[in-house]
Amino acid sequence: MKFKSFKEWLAEKGIDETAYSAKSATEMAQLQKEYMQYASEEMKKAVESGVTKDALTEATKGLVKEDAIKGFLTKDSQEFKDFQKRIEEAEEKAAQAIEGVGSSQERKSFRESIKASLEANKDALLKLKTDPNEKVTIKAVAAMTFATHTTGNVGRVEREAGFADTFKRTPILLDLVNTSSTSARVYEWIEKSGREGGVAMVAEGAVKPQGDWDLELFSQSPKKEAIIVTISKEMLDDIDGMAEDIESEVYEQLRLFTESIVLEGDGTGNNIVGIDANATAFVAGAFANTVLAANEHDAIRVAINQVELSNDFPTAVLMHPTDATKMELVKDATTSQYVLPPFTSIDGTKVKGLPVRTSTLVTQGEAYVGNFKRFKVKIRENIEFVMGYRGAQGDWEKNMVSFLGEERLFGFIPAVHYGSIVKLDLEVAKALLDPDVADS
């Protein structure tokens, strides 16, 4: 018994290498599909005829060897790998069928097995009449179950697609700030400040009032962030989707890093100056020592007022998930009923109309309230993904491949807009508002 190779099968159809190469990708795929149907039918016939597993393996050697499709598909091509995989899957199914039912010569019904056992133990059965201690063992083929036929090992291996990975935070801050692209080599902005004079009522014939202000130019060079991942070529060959997974991982890490520097960048080295460094500290102002039993809702509401006093309008509240949850769990001490202030939405996700956005990037116990659109992120070069060999590290000699991901951007908030974002230490803010805490 021997199955035709793909080349032999094509030859029977009058298709040689030249004719096959001239066909379109769709026509090639159709021929491969027809060949797989042929191979599957032949394997099915072999199983039904009682062929052994070893015999089947020997007969199908030609199906999976490189020379089976030599001259038609390149070994390194995806078509070759897909084609080979389909053949191996067909072989595996056939092998499983053999292991599951055995050959026709070996199969016996349960009744036939009992009959054979009784005949083999005929003498022992006769002794049972006079010796009740005589033992007779009858073994018959029975249905296989996990309870009776599992030893801890299974006959095949199956791998879950993709990779099980730890969960990472969602970079929501990049959606809150003002993000756009630019092709500028240097980004400049002008800040207006130092206003003097102004509009006034003027009597007939009187001198008109004068007003002026200062203009100051600021600039920033693009900041680069990058990461390199190096793996062996064998990993690319052996693990499906490895290159795609690395690309996705690098992209995700760069996005998360960008978000972290937008919030926490300290301006040292090549860092930008982030929101935290320029945010205005919480001030209780007119509400100092006036809010009884002050809680997180009260602190945020006063911070909203602080932004509005700077003549801006806040767009969101950013805080740690645990603090946001704590706000939603406030209950009346007497009735144990949930209590939310009138300026909060029924589900607790908005304060004075502002969405409460949560991120583990924010330190627990702290929060930011303000117009996050005042912070500008200008993408000079979007995330670029490059694969190659690093000569100095000897990638070529070591059979390694390196993946580089990088991005260039500007990030800043004009000094005249610092008051647009307020940073709160929630415990400190509550203490500043609550008269009972101030008196203690």
Give 149-209 as a 3 state SS string: HCCCCCCCCCCCCCCCCCCCCCCCHHHHCEEEECCCCCEEEEEEEEEEECCCCCCCCCCCC
pLDDT of residue 107: 45
pLDDT at residue number 106: 44
Two tokens at 110?
Answer: 């349960």
Please state, as a whole number, how many other Cβ atoms lie within 10 Å of the Cβ of residue 64.
Answer: 16
Handedness of CA 250, 254, 255, 257 (dihedral sign): positive
Fold exhibited by the domain 223-439: hypothetical protein PF0899 fold (3.30.2320)
| Beta-bridge mates of residue 228 | 404
Supply the angle between the helices 78-101 and 25-48 in degrees, to the nearest 10: 20
Element (H, E) at 362: none
Q: Can you tell me the distance from the alpha carbon of 319 to that of 356, in angstroms, rounded to the nearest whole number? A: 7
Q: Which is nearest to 308 in space by CA: 290, 293, 277, 286?
A: 286
Please, what is the average pLDDT of the chain? 79
One-character DSSP codes across 238-275: HSTTHHHHHHHHHHHHHHHHHHHHHHH-B-STT--B-H
**Residue 334, pLDDT score:** 84
What's the distance, CA 438 to chain centroid?
47
Percent composition of the chain: helix, strand, coil (DSSP 3-state, to 5):
40, 20, 40
The whole-number pLDDT of residue 101 equals 45
Class of residue 302 by CB neighbours under 10 A (exposed 0-12, middle 13-18, buried 19+): buried
Q: Where are the domains of the chain?
A: 6-101, 110-149, 223-439
- What confidence score (pLDDT) does residue 98 get? 55
pLDDT per position as a tens digit, 304-347: 999 999 999 999 999 999 999 999 998 888 888 888 888 888 87
Q: Hunting for tokens 């039918």 — which residue is that?
A: 41
The predicted pLDDT at position 103 comes to 42
The ranges of the chain with pLDDT < 70 are: 1-2, 47-48, 50-54, 56-163, 165, 237-240, 438-440
Token pair listed for 297:
């809702």
User: Would the CA dihedral through 285, 286, 289, 290 be positive or negative?
Assistant: negative
- Evaluate whether 32 touches 38 at the Cβ level (below 8 Å): no
